[in-house]
Amino acid sequence: MGSPAQRAGRPRFDIADVVRQHRGELEELQPLSLHHRRALDAMAVCRTAALGGHLDVCPGCGFEHPAYNSCRNRHCPKCQALAQEQWISARAQRLLPIPHFHVVFTLPSELRPLARKHPRLVYDALLRAAGDTLLDLGRSRLQATLGVTVVLHTWTRELSFHPHVHALVTAGGLGLDGAAFVHAKPRYLFPVKVMGELLRGKMMDAVRRLHHCGKLGAINPPDFNHLMAGLAGTSWVVYAKKPFRHVRHVLSYLGRYTHRVAISNSRLLEVTDDHVTFRTKNGKAVTLAPARFLGRFVQHVLPDGLKKIRHYGLYASSSVLGALAVARALIQPPTSLSTSPTPSPSSSWVEQLLRLTGRDAARCPRCGHALQRRILPATPSRSPPQRAAA
């Protein structure tokens, strides 16, 4: 696979090219679930003529540029920037102007085989257990209701399978009586050992209930008992980072984590017919055969409809007009950043793109004249989709 023509400001290589050329090899190596196939189908035609789009024409200098529609699949590395911007703009209106802690809950290796086989059930239990762990400790140790946002990730930088939950937690909460806002210690939320033990108990209880209801399939009693014993004897890893002291840092965190996919096109260093090399961390890189690369990628494709971002306590949707509003009114004095301007959720994609990349999609890049737009109909084909011209 030769390197495609590089467009200004865009990565040199595209995972979609690997999908189009090597998906057949992947399917020979392993069966694909319905949600795996849907994600790969979407990525293969993203921003190609197969999805239609529009042609920008400059009446001043004659410049023409086709722009094809996005697939909007949440696993596609080309479709997350504007979606992230829109989501952040909406969530910014709900953030409390106080420090926030960053806590990471990791699923132990003993449960990873079960997560592979029943991802929807295990991920749902992990997200719920992480949120409930923080809320329970907030009520018992601070006598307050916290605001919590949790985000599911399943990968390492090497694309290995490593399910974990990033949690953004308010440094304090609304008192249980609703009369005051209770602030946490400046650099300390809860002991990580206590959070790990509570998470372990909640997850073990969830797994037992799923097994009792027959949702985990046929597991021999000795095997299940062995699994439970292993979980009970394992120290569950919880990592607490120092708090974000300002709202702008919280927004930066949200931008990095909420819409991140397993790997971005910018991390691809080399793509050929027989290997894919991608950057990991600390200047290191991994090289895999293309089908093996896709195999690692699809293990991070989530089941359709699974919500990987969830909100609990003060940040739950049901609290917006109630407890969250009360908590906001009780926080005094508001930080200077609490009134910092945030992007309007109602702004157009052209305005969001300009703010995000500095590129004005409504103006000709050559002469600056206002562009005219013509609709391009979708042209599905059995042949490889045509991409937008440089």
Q: Give the pLDDT confidence of 207-222 residue by residue, as tens digits.
A: 999 999 999 988 999 9
**What mean pLDDT, rounded, does the chain reach?**
86
Q: Is the pLDDT of residue 94 over 60?
A: yes
Q: CB under 8 Å to 84, separation ≥6 — which residues?
A: 255, 258, 259
pLDDT value for 1: 55
Q: What CA–CA distances, in Å, run from 113 to 35, 122, 162, 204? A: 18, 10, 11, 15
pLDDT value for 353: 63
* Beta-carbon count within 10 A of 85 CB: 21
pLDDT confidence bin for 369, thresholds 50/70/90: confident
Could you give the percent of the chain with pLDDT greater than 70? 84
pLDDT value for 78: 87
Q: Is the pLDDT of residue 239 over 70?
A: yes
Q: CB under 8 Å to 173, separation ≥6 — which residues?
A: 138, 142, 144, 145, 146, 147, 181, 182, 313, 314, 327
Asked if omega into 108 is within 30° of 0 (cis), the reply is: no
- Contact 48/380 with Cβ under 8 angstroms? no
φ, ψ of residue 247 to 5 degrees: the values are -60, -35
pLDDT value for 249: 74
pLDDT value for 320: 87
- Contact 142/172 with Cβ under 8 angstroms? yes
Q: Is the pLDDT of residue 2 over 60?
A: no
- Contact 303/35 with Cβ under 8 angstroms? yes
Strands 161-175 and 53-57: unpaired
- Contact 369/61 with Cβ under 8 angstroms? yes
What gap in Å lies between CA 42 and CA 171, rounded to an integer?
40
3-class SS of residue 292: helix
- Contact 143/174 with Cβ under 8 angstroms? no
User: Worst-scoring range by mean pLDDT, 160-164, 269-273, 336-340, 361-365?
Assistant: 336-340
φ, ψ of residue 242 to 5 degrees: the values are -60, 150
What average pLDDT does the segment 98-117 reach?
Answer: 95
Q: Is the pLDDT of residue 4 over 70?
A: no
pLDDT value for 5: 42
At 143, the amino acid letter reads Q
71 by Cβ neighbours in 10 Å (0-12 / 13-18 / 19+) ranks as: buried
Helices and strands (H and E) in the chain: how many: 11, 12
